[in-house]
Structures are given as structure tokens and as C-alpha cells.
């Protein structure tokens, strides 16, 4: 516990010594960009920064950072080997103050109606992504896996067709649902 407290104090100190000269770039948010902070921050649309200057500029113009971004990907393994499938796959995202349903497909964008991934900007907390309803006929759920970062953790359940992700500040994990065509 003592070590943790010390680390926190050091982090606060590091953030407070960032040098800023341009107007607006001395704001609390802009200071978060310094000391490699920009590498762990995201715009409210979930996009990352190319470098520290881009981060500071964004903050100086009033931009705010999202706490975390969860990306959900669907992959369809087709029997014809093309990997292109018109099939839509339905999911739900729950946790926090509200939930939502969404669908993805993996057709290599031959139909732009649905993407093969979506990113959700979320507060710190625990969220569950689950297949919404039964697995579509002719398909089986082959795998549910998440790639987490240092600020997130995840547990997945193939039987439950779900992934539960715990998001810390600036976490940016990705969870992938892989479906295999059976006929
Ligand atoms: Ca489709
Ligand atoms: Ca599509």
C-alpha cells in the first residue's frame, strides 16, 4: 500500500512539472499529455494521438479525453475460404449506466451497412459484451478473446458467448468474436 501511494504522488508531481508556453496549453488537460501521457489518451471519438504536440493542441482547444475505449470485432470464417460473409451478428453491450444493442458483419465492406468492428467510449468500470440472441443458423461461435492493455482486464466465456471487461482510465482493449460457418 505504501509503495502504491508513493507511486501516485510521483505521478502527480510528474504531471505538474510539464512546461507549457502557448496559450491554453497550460490547462490541466493539456498537462496530461506530457511525460508520454499522450500515448495513453484518446479523443472522444476514440482516436489516438500521433505525438505529444497533437495531444496538447487538442486539449488546448478544449478537447476532452475519454476514460477508456472498448473495441468489439467480429470475424467470420467462411466455408468458401473467402472470409466474406453477408451474415449479420448481433451483440449487446451492458454495464455502467446504460446498455445498447448493435450488429456487426465481416464482409470486407462489400456492404457498408455494418462495419466489422465498433469502438465504444466508456467510463471506468466493468462492461459485458455478449452475443444478442441465438447464434445464427449455419454458424457456430468458435472463439471469444480479448486483447487487453495494462489498464484493463477481461474474462471471456465461449459457452456464454460473452466477454466481461474491466476498464481503468485510458484503457483500450479489443474483444473479438470469431464465428465459423458450418453449412
Ligand atoms: Ca451484412
Ligand atoms: Ca459490412
CATH of the domain at 134: 2.60.40.1140
From 26, 41, 60, the end of a domain falls on 60
Counted domains in the chain: 2
Query: Phi and psi of 13, rounded to 5°?
Result: -65, -45
Are 70 and 119 within 8 A, CB to CB? yes
Q: How far apart are CA 147 and CA 131, in angstroms?
A: 18
Query: Is there a single domain that holds both residue 72 and residue 45?
Result: no
Query: Is there a single domain that holds both residue 92 and residue 117?
Result: yes
From 21, 36, 60, the end of a domain falls on 60
Query: Is there a single domain that holds both residue 54 and residue 132?
Result: no
For residue 83, what pLDDT is reported? Answer: 84
What ligand is nearest to the CA atom of residue 113? 2
Report pLDDT digits (tens) over 88-97.
999 999 997 6
Query: Is there a single domain that holds both residue 75 and residue 51?
Result: no
> Residue 137: which domain range?
68-181
Query: Is there a single domain that holds both residue 54 and residue 92?
Result: no
From 28, 60, 92, the end of a domain falls on 60
Q: How far apart are CA 180 and CA 173, in angstroms?
A: 23
In terms of Cβ atoms closer than 10 Å to its own Cβ (0-12, 13-18, 19+), residue 177 is buried
Query: Is there a single domain that holds both residue 84 and residue 127?
Result: yes
Query: Is there a single domain that holds both residue 136 and residue 52?
Result: no
Which residues of the chain are modeled with pLDDT < 70? 1-23, 97-98
What is the CA(140)–ligand 1 centre distance, in A? 17
> Residue 60 belongs to what H/E stretch?
helix 52-60
Query: Is there a single domain that holds both residue 101 and residue 51?
Result: no
What is the CA(77)–ligand 1 centre distance, in A? 14
What is the CA(173)–ligand 1 centre distance, in A? 25
Report pLDDT digits (tens) over 60-77.
999 888 778 899 999 999
Query: Is there a single domain that holds both residue 90 and residue 113?
Result: yes
For residue 97, what pLDDT is reported? Answer: 67
Query: Is there a single domain that holds both residue 115 and residue 44?
Result: no
Give which of 41, 9, 55, 11 is closest to 121, Cα–Cα. 41
For residue 168, what pLDDT is reported? Answer: 85
Query: Is there a single domain that holds both residue 50 and residue 73?
Result: no
For residue 54, what pLDDT is reported? Answer: 97
What is the CA(136)–ligand 1 centre distance, in A? 12
Query: Is there a single domain that holds both residue 94 and residue 44?
Result: no
What is the CA(76)–ligand 2 centre distance, in A? 12
Is beta strand 85-94 parallel, antiparallel or unpaired with respect to 162-167? unpaired
What is the CA(109)–ligand 1 centre distance, in A? 9
What is the CA(106)–ligand 2 centre distance, in A? 6
Amino acid at each position: 500500500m505504501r509503495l502504491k501511494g508513493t507511486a501516485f504522488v510521483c505521478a502527480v508531481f510528474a504531471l505538474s512539472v510539464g512546461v507549457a508556453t502557448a496559450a491554453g496549453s497550460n490547462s490541466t488537460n493539456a498537462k496530461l499529455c506530457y511525460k508520454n501521457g499522450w500515448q495513453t489518451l484518446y479523443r472522444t471519438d476514440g482516436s489516438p494521438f500521433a505525438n505529444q504536440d497533437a495531444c496538447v493542441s487538442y486539449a488546448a482547444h478544449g478537447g476532452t479525453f475519454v476514460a477508456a475505449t472498448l473495441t468489439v470485432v467480429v470475424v467470420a470464417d467462411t466455408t468458401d475460404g473467402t472470409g466474406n460473409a453477408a451474415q449479420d451478428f448481433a451483440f449487446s453491450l451492458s454495464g455502467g449506466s446504460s446498455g445498447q444493442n448493435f450488429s456487426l458483419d465481416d464482409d470486407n465492406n462489400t456492404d457498408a451497412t455494418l462495419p466489422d468492428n465498433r469502438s465504444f467510449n466508456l467510463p471506468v468500470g466493468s462492461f459485458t459484451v455478449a452475443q444478442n440472441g441465438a447464434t445464427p443458423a449455419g454458424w457456430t461461435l468458435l472463439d471469444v478473446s480479448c486483447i487487453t492493455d495494462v489498464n484493463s482486464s477481461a474474462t471471456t466465456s465461449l459457452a456464454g458467448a460473452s466477454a466481461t471487461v474491466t476498464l481503468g482510465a485510458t484503457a483500450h482493449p479489443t474483444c473479438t468474436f470469431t464465428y465459423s460457418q458450418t453449412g
